[in-house]
Structure 1
Amino acid sequence: MPITMSTDDIAALNAALLQQVADLHALIGWLDVGHQQMKDVVAAELHEQLGSPLTALAMRLALITRHGGSEPKLAEHWTKAHALIGNLTQTTRRLQHQLRPVALDALNALGLSAALAEYLEQFGQRTGIACTLTIEGSEVPLSLATNQALFRILSGAVDNIGQHAGARSMQVLLGYDAMTCHMTVSDDGCGIDLSRLDWQRSYGLRLMRERATILKATFEIISLPGQGCRVTLRLPLPLPLPLPLPQ
């Protein structure tokens, strides 16, 4: 016997489903914040437990070598030890940067555009990829949480380019108009075959898309194999408050 549902029943089910989806997004957002806080703690621990001791160790080895004079064996060991310490220091700094980019501090103090400029400059120096940042319009004051989410989405796209695209150059656009804040990240790398993209395994792209959904922003990827990739996000801006009526 077929089951019939009234319009009110269907509306109630739709409302319950929408509430469950909203609750799920809220939970994902809460987990994302907690995950980032954990990464901040690990980054601080890396600095305290590895960064400073490695610097101290390098200084002690330099003193040992200086007091050892021109002993060939000692000089050879120093050269190898110094190279190892240099590699460990670079790895530690890279991990710290991935866990908590220094540009996040600029985000709190100077705003999104300044934070992106600093982040892209550091990224270009580290990877050799030529980065161009274009700002269109005047930056609109947004909440710190919103700016952090936007920064995380863009930094996720940039990190994907550094790890997978094999790109030589990258262009980033941050724009503001009366209705939206929009970001675009384009590169000249190997591109993506979107028809064969496995979202379940593409954790970085999934996280960017989920963060955009939590912000109620649109998220789009345009790419073809061998023709680079373009990631675009559009965030509707809050409507300005109406001016008070004259008395």
Structure 2
Amino acid sequence: MRPIFDSTAAGMHAPWWLPGNSGRYLSSTMLIEHNGRMWQALFSVRKSDLYTRFDAFLPWLALLTGFASTMLLYMLFHTLASSRRRAIQMATGMTEELRASQIRLQLSHQKLRRLAAHADQIKEEERKRIAREIHDDLGQNLLVLRIDADMLASRTQRRHPRLNARARSTLEQIDATIKSVRQIINDLRPTVLDLGVNAAVEWQVAQFRLRTGIACEVSESHDDICLSDQCATALFRILQESLSNISQHANASRVQVKLEKCRDTVSMSVSDNGVGAAIDGRNKLGSFGLVGIEERIKLLGGTFHIESSPGAGMSVHVSVPLGADATAFPYQEESRASA
């Protein structure tokens, strides 16, 4: 068979069918009918002409690109996971530090409350000591002076009118001094507290009524309520502070004090029909009256709440256990906080 046409230039390339060249070429055969005859067309091309040098590196480039993409995705997810893990560790550390700070703050608060209870106890004991010394020393001396002045006034009444007048004037000054000393003693530590909380409340209400002219009623459900000295003193001071607030700020015309005993607790309420106040008024800067009442009740392990609104008066309610001890309660609360 002789080829009719060969697209390759003569002498430049060896034909594809020659031995040793078939592996370097790709060939294809096609039958063509022309002029009533069958012709066999042979097509061949060198394999090296089908691709360039870039095509040889394309698989490696694809492999490198895939590897780089995989590494980038890995680094991205690893960074996200590491950031989340660090954030969780940081949040955990901050939470633990916050809890530790809260525990330290709570313990410091309990220590301050214990210190306040100790200071309050010392203050009451010092008041009691000063009142006793004034009563025993100054009171006795004034009583002796009054007896001598009264004897002098009695003996000079007829013979020495001018000396008698001086003696009477001295006697009046001594009486006024004795009255002032008694008032100081009552302010420091009323002796009526030794008679019980009921008598102390009635005496304080009577003094408030006499001093201010405001109608004040006392309602008691039990007689002779037995309380510890600390608890009775605390209730008496709370009553003093409440009545003082009423006389200074409430502009009230009627006050009612209730003292009740219910099982193992004692409750006291002080109500007025004054102008009232906002509940958060106790948080004002420099306002320590209601804050002092609340702190005293907390030291005794009791409860304290206020009912008030502008124009509708105010009611202060306190309740304490019968066996309340201001020095023991902070320690108990601190032990619960530590646990």
Taking structure 2 as the reference length, the TM-score comes to 0.56
- Pick from 110, 119, 128: which aligns with 1:22? 110
SS at match of 1:120: helix
Stretch deviating more after TM superposition (19-28 or 179-188)? 179-188
What is the aligned partner in structure 1 of residue 27 from structure 2?
none
Deviation, 1:153, is 1.9
Aligned length: 234
Deviation, 1:51, is 1.5
Deviation, 1:145, is 3.4
Q: Which amino acid aligns with 2:301?
A: K
What is the aligned partner in structure 1 of residue 316 from structure 2?
231
Greater Rg, structure 1 or structure 2?
2
What is the aligned partner in structure 1 of residue 230 from structure 2?
145
Q: Within 2, Cα distance between the matches of 1:165 and 1:114? A: 25
Could you list the per-position Cα deviations for residues 148-206 of structure 1 after superposition, in whole angstroms to 9, with x for gaps in the alignment?
A: 32333223323544677676543111234468543211235676677776755445444
What is the aligned partner in structure 2 of residue 50 from structure 1?
138
SS at match of 1:183: strand
Could you list the per-position Cα deviations for residues 197-231 of structure 1 after superposition, in whole angstroms to 9, with x for gaps in the alignment?
A: 67554454443222022123333445577865432
Which blocks of at least 5 consecutive residues in structure 2 are unaligned?
Answer: 1-86, 324-339
1:174 aligns to 2:270 (yes or no): no
Residues 86 and 162 of structure 1: CA distance in aligned 2, closer, same or farther (over 3 Å):
farther
Q: Within 2, Cα distance between the matches of 1:169 and 1:14? A: 45
Q: Which amino acid aligns with 1:43?
A: A
- Pick from 246, 250, 272: which aligns with 1:187? 272
1:105 aligns to 2:172 (yes or no): no
Residues 153 and 168, structure 2, Cα contact 8 Å, conserved in 1: no
Taking structure 1 as the reference length, the TM-score comes to 0.73
Q: Matched residues, percent identical?
A: 31
Deviation, 1:6, is 4.8
Could you list the per-position Cα deviations for residues 116-148 of structure 1 after superposition, in whole angstroms to 9, with x for gaps in the alignment?
A: 334434554566554322124798866553343
What is the aligned partner in structure 2 of residue 214 from structure 1?
299
Residues 282 and 291, structure 2, Cα contact 8 Å, conserved in 1: no
1:94 aligns to 2:183 (yes or no): yes
Q: Within 1, Cα distance between the matches of 2:268 and 2:112? A: 25
Which blocks of at least 5 consecutive residues in structure 1 are unaligned?
Answer: 239-247
Q: Which amino acid aligns with 1:55?
A: L
SS at match of 1:20: helix
Question: Counterparts of 1:150-165 in structure 2 under 5 Å?
Answer: 150-161=235-246
Which of structures 1 and 2 has the larger relative contact order (alpha carbons within 8 angstroms, sep 6+)? Answer: 1
1:37 aligns to 2:122 (yes or no): no
